[in-house]
Amino acid sequence: MEFEPTIVGFLCNWCSYTGADLAGTARIKHRPNLRVIRVMCSGRVDPTFVMQAFASGADGVMICGCHPGDCHYLEGNDKAYRRFQLLKRLMVSYGIEKQRLRLEWVSASEGERFARLVDTMTAELKELGPLELPPDLSLEPGTHPDAPVVREVTHG
């Protein structure tokens, strides 16, 4: 049967999760491949979460936060953005295609946008095929002993 990618989505509680709900209330149909995990802020998304998701079988990860400047916590999404940049480089070094990780801004009124994002990413991942895990990450679940330590770039 046709490959159906599984995407783990980290949605911030204030904008993106609300936006996803709006997609629901407005009955905007989209692909069922996303599994949503609610976090208070996109800034909460720990790089290990993403790596963990890949490790335990996710074909892609989508992080959604408030639009720049809209963050409920002032600048959490900026933090997320900087981490995202680091993460991408990291992934590549682990041999994971960087298309498998996405950071998107979805506001509470952008149900439509959210739905389209899910569809496009699903389509992309279908193109890409299942994630072939590099051996050193395919350990049993739980944080990797020498899990990458991502240094935070402090603000300003």
Partner 1 sequence: MNDECRIGVYICNCGTNIAKVVNAERVCHRVADLPEVACARTYKYMCSNPGQDMITQDIKEHGLDRVVVAACSPRMHEPTFRKALEAAGLNPFMLEMANIREQCSWVHDDPAKATAKAADLTHAAVRRVARHQPLEKQEAPYTPATMVLGGGIAGLTVAVELADAGQHVHLIEQEGRLGGNVGRVDLTAPYLDSARDLLAEKIVQAETNPRIDVHLRSTLTDLQGFVGNFTGTVTHQDGSDTEFPVGSVVVCTGYHEFDATRVERLGYGKHLDVITSFELEQRLRSGRLETADGRVPRYVSIVHCVGSRNVKYHTYCSRVCCMTALKYGHEIKSALPEAMVTDLYVDMLSFGKGGEDLYRRTSELKTMFLMYEKEDYPVVRAAEAGDDCGLLVQVRERLSGETIDVPADLVVLMVGMQARADSDQVARTVGISQDVEGWFIESHPKLAPVSTPTEGVFIAGCCQSPKDIPDTVAQARAAAAMVLGYIAQGKVEVDARYAQIDGDLCSGCRVCNELCPYTAIAYDPDEGRSDVQSALCKACGTCVAACPSGAIAARHFTDEQILEQIEGVLAWSSSQP
Partner 2 sequence: MAPTASPKKIGIFFSHADTGRLDGLDIPRIMAFARELPDVAAVEELDPEARPDPKILAETIQRLQLTEVVIAGDTPGGHKPVFTRAMVMAGGDPELVRLASFGEVGAATGAAENSALAAVACAVHGVPFGLAVTPARVPVHPDTLVIGAGVAGIETALRIAGAGHKVHLVERAATIGGHMAMFDKTFPTLDCAACILTPKMVAAGQHENIDILNCSEVQDVGGVAGEYKVRVLRRARRVDPEACVACHACRDVCPVRVPSEFDEGIVERKAIYMAFPQAIPNSYVVDGENCLWVKSEGKKCGACVKKCPKDAIHLDEEPHSEELTVGNIVVATGFDTFDAELIERYGYGKLPNVLTALEFERLTNASGPTGGRIVTRTARRKRKTKQEEWVFDTEAPAPRSVAIIHCVGSRDQNHNPYCSRVCCMYSLKFAHLVKEKLPDAACYQFYIDMRAFGKGYEEFFERIKDEGVFVVRGRTARIEAGTDGMVIRGEDVVHDRIREFPVDMVLLAVGLEPARGAQRLAKVLDIHPGCDGWFTELNYNTDPTATNRGGIHVAGVCQGPKDIPDTVAQASAVAARVLGSIISGSVRVGRDSVSPEEAADTAARLASIKTQEEPWPSEPTHT
- The contact set with partner 1 (CB under 8 A) reads 1, 4, 6, 8, 17-18, 20-21, 23-25, 27-30, 32, 35-41, 43-49, 52-53, 56-58, 72-76, 79, 83, 115, 141-143, 149-152, 154-156
Phi and psi angles of residue 10, each rounded to the nearest 5 degrees, phi first: -100, 110
Q: Which one, 47 or 124, has the nearer CB to partner 1?
A: 47
Give me the numbers of helices (H) and strands (E) for the chain, helices first please. Answer: 4, 4
| Helix extents (H) in the chain | 16-25, 47-55, 76-93, 111-128
Residue 70 lies near partner 2 (rule: CB under 8 A): yes
Binding residues for partner 2, how many (CB under 8 A)? Answer: 17
**Residues 23, 17: Cα–Cα separation, whole Å:** 10
**Residues 95, 97: Cα–Cα separation, whole Å:** 6
What is the per-residue binding string for partner 2 in 27-66, x denoting contact by CB under 8 A?
---------------------------------------x
- Token duo for residue 118: 């899910």
User: Among 79, 87, 91, 110, which residue sits at the site for partner 2 (rule: CB under 8 A)?
Assistant: 110
